[in-house]
Copies of this chain bind each other. A is one copy, B any other.
Amino acid sequence: MKYIVAIIQSDKLDNVLDKLEDNGIHLVTVTNAVGRGRQKGEAEVYRGHKEIGTLLKKVKIEIGVNDDFVKPAVDAIIEASKTGEIGDGKIFVMALEECHRIRTGETGNEAIG
């Protein structure tokens, strides 16, 4: 099992959720995040004082999947959230040792999907 963490452009979330669904991945958790990257922020101006924000709004998606769903998940995310412009974000994949479904107490591969 793997644990996928993806940081994406926040307005691409709907696209990504749809595409994941298409690729058979329904279960996801989403949080707000801000990120510093290569992307330059838009200038903000407060009473004539210009600032370039370095932390830009992103959205973080987390998905626990069985091994054979890693590729479909990664592909779906890339496909649905790529704009080609700097700031599109990253996908990280980690090993997942255990998974429990709270409602049923199921564990492992059964619990994850």
* Interface size grouping (class) on chain A: 35 or more
Q: A86-B103, A91-B102, A93-B97 are in contact. Are A35 and B30 (CB under 8 A)?
A: yes
Assess the B102–A8 pair: CB atoms within 8 A. Answer: yes
Q: A26-B37, A27-B36, A36-B26 are in contact. Are A82 and B94 (CB under 8 A)?
A: no
Assess the A94–B7 pair: CB atoms within 8 A. Answer: no
Please indicate the chain B residues that have their CB under 8 angstroms from the CB of A60 in the complex. Answer: 29, 31
How far is it, in angstroms, between the C-alpha of A88 and the C-alpha of B87 when the chains are bound? 30
Taking Cβ atoms with an 8 Å cutoff, the residues of A that contact B are: 2-3, 5-8, 17, 26-38, 54-55, 58, 60, 62, 64, 70, 74, 77-78, 81-103, 105, 111-112
Could you tell me the distance in whole angstroms from the C-beta of A18 to the nearest C-beta in chain B?
10
